Amino acid sequence: MNYIILDLEWNQAVSAARMIRTPVMLHGEIIQIGAVKTDDKFNLLDKIKINVRPKYYKKMNSHVEKLTGITQLQLTSGETFPQAFKIFEKWCGKDFRFITWGFDDLGVFADNLTLHGLDPSFGSDYINLQLIYNRQTNAEHLQCALAAAAESLGIPIDVQCHDAFNDAFLTFELCQKLDMTLGLAEYAEYVAALPTPLMKDAIPNVDDLKKMIFNRRVVDIPCPRCGGGLKHGKWLFSSGKSCKTISSCPEDGDFLVKLKAIKVTEGDYTVTRSVFAASEDEIKSFNEKLKKREERRKKRAAENTEENNDKNGDV
């Protein structure tokens, strides 16, 4: 069996009003397919890059252009998606398994296949290399950026990231640094160890992430067991777009609640809400992080006070 190390780039709607919502909620229309083919020992066999001409999101989203370097002029060239898929499917061959960096690419791929009346299950049995990387490097964050992972393993980055082929090849180089024999043998265990949400849904059309945790549409979350309202504790942000808290239900106890914002267009986000059973270890870990945050805040406040006192003393 061969492995196809895959990366995709996609364009987004320039406004919420122009977003395709049927037959799928199209968060991204694929504009680049990049891939590296290896044998079962991860020896390089072939590589491919296909530029794709979008059918629906024809105007280049400024955020995507800044991220990828793909211009409006480049967007008008390339194959149609059905043509690109035909080329790519033939190139993949019959006996293969995808490897991607993260969970997002195959979801977007499935949406684009559905959009064009093609089989969305193509390549759905895939390996998320992040899980192998996290286990073998004891990475702190589940969703470590590809470039950060490469840097941590001493892989030089001398090409533009967020190019589908460059990122696919960088993922291939990560495979060379990891124990893929062990990782593949244990992969089912890694997936099984991922927490399964008791409830997961999405709230569209959120425009202000700074006020996300005060938005009733977002934070009015029912208990996944009894349906009553959850009472949230203090929120911890891991970035400007994701946060978590320990929430409680009078009937069913404590839960871990996570919010993650996905950018649809400029100023328009969809917030994914996930509720998990909270173990004692998770509650302890959360409270320790909360305590460290408060200690950092107090330290900064004390330093600011001292700095202001020094300035006032100099006057």
pLDDT along the chain (315 residues), means of 10: 97 85 90 98 97 95 89 92 98 96 92 96 93 88 80 90 95 97 95 87 86 93 92 90 94 94 80 91 91 91 80 62
d(CA 106, CA 308): 53
What is the reported pLDDT for 254?
A: 95
Measured CA to CA, the distance from residue 224 to residue 199 in angstroms comes to 6
**What pLDDT is stored for residue 142 in this prediction?**
61
What are the start and end residues of each CATH 3.30.310 domain in the chain?
Answer: 199-278
Q: The pTM is what?
A: 0.75
Cα distances (angstroms) measured from residue 198 to each of 190, 215, 257, 258, 274: 19, 22, 10, 12, 8
Burial of 302 (0-12, 13-18, 19+ CB in 10 A): exposed
CATH of domain 199-278: 3.30.310
- Using a 10 angstrom Cβ sphere, with 0-12 exposed, 13-18 middle and 19 or more buried, the burial of residue 33 is buried
Q: What confidence score (pLDDT) does residue 42 get?
A: 97
pLDDT at 141: 58
- The architecture that CATH gives domain 2-192 is 2-Layer Sandwich (3.30)
- Amino acid code (one letter) for 185: A
pLDDT at 89: 98
Range(s) of the chain covered by CATH 3.30.420.10: 2-192
How high is the pLDDT of residue 57? 95
